[in-house]
Amino acid sequence: MKYFMAVLSMLFMGTIAAQNIKGELVDEAGSPIEDAGIFNKTSGQHSHTDGTGHFVLDRTSVNDTIYFSKLGYATLTRVVNQADFQNPLTLVLEETSISLDQVVLVSEVDALSRVVDADVKTNPVKSSQEILRKVPGLIIGQHAGGGKAEQIFLRGFDVDHGTDVAINVDGMPVNMVSHAHGQGYADLHFVIPETIENVNFGKGPYYADQGNFNTAGYVDLKLRKSLDKSLLSAEVGQFGTRRFIGMFSVMDNQNSNAYLASELYLTDGPFDSPQNFNRINIMGRYRYALPGDQELLLTASHFSSKWDASGQIPQRAVDQGLISRFGAIDDTEGGQTSRTNIILNHIKNLGTGKSLNTMAFVSHYDFELYSNFTFFLEDAVNGDQINQFEDRMLAGAKTVFQNNSANLGGVDFKYNAGIGFRYDNVDDNQLSHTLNRQELLERLAYGDVDEVNGYAFAGAEFKSGKFTFEPALRMDYFRFDYVDKMNELYDSRSEEKVAFSPKFNTIYSPTENTQIFLKTGIGFHSNDTRVVVANGGEDILPAAYGVDLGAIIRPADKLVVNATLWTLFLDQEFVYVGDAAIVEPSGKTRRMGIEVGARYQPLDWLYLYTDANYTHARSTEEVDGEDYIPLAPDFTMAGGVTIGGNQGFSGGINYRYIDDRPANEDNSIVAEGYFVTDTTLNYTLKNWTFGLIVENLFDIEWNETQFATESRLFNEPNSFEEIHFTPGTPFYLRGKVTVTF
């Protein structure tokens, strides 16, 4: 470890020694192209353009063949000549239709994310619920009327609303620490789907720039920097659904541009008791760029939604005919939430492969939710409705220095190093027993949370022949403060903790079309501040130890296949149950799995993809037969077919499947699986697009979310533990008209 730290401390001393070519990539309008891949077919060296479109490629010789590639652009091939070393190059990539042969398998740990980006480009997301489904193996479910964050499943985790998946939007964290409803709560509904440029992701705890909640994986959304065209869109469908989108380019000068985007979404849903759901999103983005020097992005957004919900209903109530599948026991559930964000991103090109990336954000967030999971179990007269509430301010910043052309002792390498912080100030974080969303019966928990997370990380990339080695280390410091307002005396408690997270990834690329990787690393997720102070600061940053062994192969220009064997071990932790204001211990767990996937584009207008995931997840501290992890999926699949181009007919059909899974520790209660198919059909004529969207094409009966819950209905003499579920959407038809200008 001392040697490792010594090497990292010397990284900033690196100087340019190897012969290199440098330059910038621009599109046909002269705008810089960010994150394009540069690959030396002869030596295996690779690089990427920064935010200003610039690149440096080391260890390059005369007659080497270089590929310049990015999805949506024709791949440019260049044979190096002596003149290329004298002056920086300016290369133009021509826009073209999306094609898998534009993906180059470079030696990077997120190479699969670049391949899957073709899924997003060929079949863009149509709703905020669809965003996370673009990650292979990630399943979501909604169980509170559409306004609550989705429940997430990934790699044998019931992630709840984000506890084990770190989610970011242009660097701003989405997960909420010490949230009133649950640790890591991640509500992505403030993102307008049409503004998404790509969905970057990684599975496992192998990424030094990802910290808290990065155990099962991370998802990082990148938003468009500019609009090619303005658009207006209107969508109308069953269940009183209406959605209106407006995206307007308001400035487009030589060095700056800006656009505005807005969304209004209204629906009653398929439920007997209307959801009365409404959501409004407003976003503005301004970009200022000095070619070859720097880029500044300023983003401001506001989101607000309100809804009523039918909640999770017991199976016995449906079987006995008391309610329909879309009925409710307590239809006064629901809530409201809002979030206002300001994000500043700055990229500075320092020359010779060096860059400085800085991000800062401030956000105001509020949340109020009414739920009733057990009905009349605790209060036989008034019922068990609860209210969860919080008012939060959060702010943070991060700076990362990147050097893509360093040399130490004659060894060429790349490295990055970064520092940052996040601060959450949560007022009136509370849980209360209520009646009909009107009357406060009893306050169960009430307090203020202050949480600080400071961090630093560094990582390097060394190439040796066809091997790439990536050591990295991350350090996180946490301070937790909690004021219990239910204590008549001023009760303020604080705890501190530090976590070290080493990573080491190895990639072997025997050919330009093959990548074999071995990823290892330690990650963590923090516990709720109320757990931390209650447990005296012990076992409050449970670690996750992971290993991935896999390969990505392109046997043909337009066919990419991938496979991964993985395992993840999660340490002891204590969980704060926001719905009950109690702390529950959760023991050690072990997960092992295999993932396979394929993407194939036999014709320019035909794109096919599929992913399958199997996981064996068990508690390691329980006896056989009682060691199941509730709701952890063991087998999932997703895939689809997309057809068409920019004009005429286009569309697609996709499916998602989840197997039956245990709903409790001994598998005596089973959550039923489902196979759901969605489809779209569009016709584009010049700047007009007319579309149909169908969810649940075959109108199957399925449960979107399910829980093993003990509950009691009114006048029932005894309680029962059984499946409580939120029904999945039935056949759901919507029409859509979009015009660009």
- Which of 27-31, 362-366, 384-388, 672-676 shows the lowest per-residue confidence on average (mean pLDDT)? 27-31
Q: What is the structure's pLDDT at 578? A: 55
CA distance 565 to 550: 6
SS3 265: strand
CATH of 18-96, one of 2.30.30.110, 3.90.226.10, 2.60.40.1120, 3.40.1280.30: 2.60.40.1120
pLDDT one-digit tens code per residue, 429-443: 999 999 999 999 999
Put residue 246 in one of left, alpha, beta given phi > 0 → left and psi -120 to 50 → alpha.
Answer: beta
Q: List all residues 6 or more positions away from 495 whose beta carbon is below 8 Å from its beta carbon.
A: 479, 480, 532, 533, 536, 537, 540
Identify whether the C-beta of residue 98 lies closer than 8 Å to the C-beta of residue 121. Answer: yes
- Same fold: 18-96 with 203-482+497-740: no
Average pLDDT over residues 485-505: 90
DSSP-assigned states of every residue in 372-427? -SSBTSS-TTT---EEEEEEEEEEEEEEEEEEEEEEETTEEEEEEEEEEEEEEEEE
Average pLDDT over residues 633-649: 92
Q: Across all residues in the chain, what is the average pLDDT? A: 90
* pLDDT beyond 70 at 579: no
In 3D space, the residue among 228, 364, 236, 350 whose CA is nearest the CA of residue 294 turns out to be: 350
**Enclosing H/E stretch for 517:** strand 514-524
Bridge partners (DSSP) listed for residue 577: 582
CA distance 247 to 282: 10
Q: What is the structure's pLDDT at 692? A: 96
Distances (CA, A) of 126 to 377, 532, 606, 690, 714: 40, 40, 19, 14, 41
Average pLDDT over residues 602-627: 93
Other Cβ atoms within 10 Å of 723 Cβ, number: 20
CA dihedral 39, 42, 44, 50 (to 10 degrees): -20
pLDDT one-digit tens code per residue, 361-387: 999 999 999 999 999 999 999 999 999
Chain length of the chain: 741
Q: What is the structure's pLDDT at 573? A: 64
Other Cβ atoms within 10 Å of 306 Cβ, number: 18
CA distance 480 to 458: 25
Distances (CA, A) of 12 to 15, 352, 360, 630: 9, 14, 24, 47
**Edge-to-edge strand ranges of the sheet holding 196-203:** 172-173, 165-169, 217-223, 196-203
* pLDDT beyond 60 at 583: no
DSSP-assigned states of every residue in 476-503? EEEEEEEEETTSSS-EEEEEEEEEEEEE
Distances (CA, A) of 632 to 39, 574, 639, 725, 727: 40, 19, 21, 16, 19
**Edge-to-edge strand ranges of the sheet holding 21-26:** 54-57, 21-26, 89-92
Tell me how far the alpha carbon of residue 99 is from its chain's centroid: 24
pLDDT one-digit tens code per residue, 537-575: 777 888 999 999 999 999 998 999 999 999 999 987 656
> Which sequence spans correspond to the domains of the chain?
18-96, 203-482+497-740
The dotted CATH code for 203-482+497-740 is 2.40.170.20
In 3D space, the residue among 470, 513, 672 whose CA is nearest the CA of residue 105 turns out to be: 513
Average pLDDT over residues 694-722: 94
CA distance 386 to 375: 10
Q: What is the structure's pLDDT at 214? A: 96
Q: What is the structure's pLDDT at 13? A: 40
CA distance 638 to 522: 28
Identify whether the C-beta of residue 230 lies closer than 8 Å to the C-beta of residue 258. Answer: no
SS3 356: strand
CA distance 438 to 340: 27
CA distance 699 to 692: 16
Q: List all residues 6 or more positions away from 712 whose beta carbon is below 8 Å from its beta carbon.
A: 374, 375, 376, 377, 380, 718, 719, 720
In 3D space, the residue among 459, 461, 474, 427 whose CA is nearest the CA of residue 446 turns out to be: 427
Residue 608 or residue 575, greater confidence: 608
* pLDDT beyond 60 at 52: yes
Residue 592 or residue 100, greater confidence: 592
> What confidence category does residue 250 fall into, taking pLDDT thresholds of 50, 70 and 90?
very high
> Would you give the DSSP letter of residue 129?
G
Average pLDDT over residues 329-345: 95
- Which of 196-210, 402-416, 467-481 shows the lowest per-residue confidence on average (mean pLDDT)? 402-416
**Enclosing H/E stretch for 582:** strand 582-586
Identify whether the C-beta of residue 660 lies closer than 8 Å to the C-beta of residue 670. Answer: yes
**Enclosing H/E stretch for 112:** helix 111-122
Q: What's the burial of 87, exposed, middle or buried (CB within 10 Å: 0-12/13-18/19+)?
A: exposed
